[in-house]
């Protein structure tokens, strides 16, 4: 229900001011602006094909959760009164995107979506060379282009600002400040680096045994550890201090469980 609260405030920010966003929300707002049809009905109707697709692609539980979330949002738009807080367009675009991203992010953490374009993007990505992010971007560009043509260019530009605000909020809620980064380090001074990670950063490490291909080095120790984004700068600085020639590879991690990831009180 927290996700619906965020989406409810988004629609109430946007609808009275004829603003739009990307995805199904943006399509609903665009159609509502052009036709004067009820927004709450449009959100349900336009999402139906995506819920069916989600049922086939992801599963029954996902489809049920998504349906409940969409219906609850629609009912909230009908029965909960709202008085516009501001008519300042820049504030509407920014905070509308903030609430939109908050609602979608909380829905994703709960195992469902409120905007069906994510399901469509997943479906297309499995049958093409495009990533989910690329597909969502293309769909939103089409929506913004329609907004620019049928409403005005200002609305489309504010919609892009809203989209950027929402995207950053989703990333923050889904990943949080403690978004993790996997780090692979290959160095001739691996013992010093390992000691720093364990003793100073209080993180666990895994040592892989390998050998060099290009320089044909034998018995290379490869260090692998997981740190937060906030700790990444500290680790990079110290590794460069210990061994300026160290080979370091970083990769984002969506989720982790177990292991020595949280800070430990080593003695």
C-alpha to C-alpha distance for 1 and 110, rounded to whole angstroms: 10
Cβ neighbourhood burial of 65 (10 Å; 0-12, 13-18, 19+): middle
- For 7-17, write each residue's pLDDT tens digit: 544 555 555 55
pLDDT given at position 126:
74
- pLDDT of residue 177 exceeding 80, the answer is no
Residue 69: C-alpha distances to residues 2, 75, 104, 114, 122 (Å): 10, 10, 10, 6, 20
pLDDT given at position 50:
87
Contact, 179 vs 251, CB < 8 A?
no
In which band, very low, low, confident or very high, does the pLDDT at 5 lie, cut at 50, 70 and 90?
very low
Q: Enumerate the H helices of 110-131 as residue ranges.
A: 117-125
- For 43-88, write each residue's pLDDT tens digit: 889 889 888 988 887 788 888 888 888 888 788 777 766 666 677 7
Task: Label residues 160-180 b or e (16+ Cβ within 10 Å = b).
Answer: bbbbebbbebbeebbbeeebb
Lowest mean pLDDT among 27-41, 118-132, 199-213: 118-132
**Percent of residues, the chain, with pLDDT higher than 70:** 79
- pLDDT of residue 184 exceeding 90, the answer is yes
- pLDDT of residue 211 exceeding 70, the answer is yes
pLDDT given at position 192:
92
Which of 108, 8, 112 lies closest to 62 in space, CA to CA? 112
């Amino acid at each position: 229900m927290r996700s619906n609260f965020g989406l409810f405030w988004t629609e109430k920010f946007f609808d009275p001011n004829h603003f739009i966003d990307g995805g199904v929300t943006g399509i609903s707002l665009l159609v509502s602006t052009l036709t004067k049809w009820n927004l709450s009905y449009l959100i349900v109707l336009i999402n139906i094909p995506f819920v069916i697709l989600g049922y086939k692609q992801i599963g029954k539980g996902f489809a049920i959760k998504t349906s409940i979330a969409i219906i609850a949002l629609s009912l909230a738009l009908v029965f909960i009164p709202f008085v516009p807080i501001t008519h300042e367009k820049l504030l509407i675009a920014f905070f509308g995107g903030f609430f939109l991203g908050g609602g979608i992010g909380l829905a994703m953490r709960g195992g469902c979506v409120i905007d069906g374009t994510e399901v469509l993007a997943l479906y297309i990505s499995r049958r093409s060379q495009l990533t989910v992010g690329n597909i969502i971007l293309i769909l939103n560009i089409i929506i913004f282009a329609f907004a620019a043509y049928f409403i005005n260019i200002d609305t489309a530009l504010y919609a892009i600002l809203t989209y950027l605000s929402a995207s950053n909020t989703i990333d923050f809620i889904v990943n949080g400040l403690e978004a993790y980064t996997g780090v692979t380090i290959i160095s001739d001074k691996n013992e010093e680096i390992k000691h720093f990670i364990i003793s100073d950063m209080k993180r666990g490490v895994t040592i892989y045994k390998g050998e060099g291909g290009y320089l044909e080095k034998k018995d290379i120790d490869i260090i692998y550890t997981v740190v937060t984004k906030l700790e990444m700068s500290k680790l990079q600085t110290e590794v460069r201090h210990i061994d300026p020639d160290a080979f370091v590879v970083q990769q984002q991690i969506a989720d982790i469980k177990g292991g020595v990831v949280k800070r430990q009180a080593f003695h």
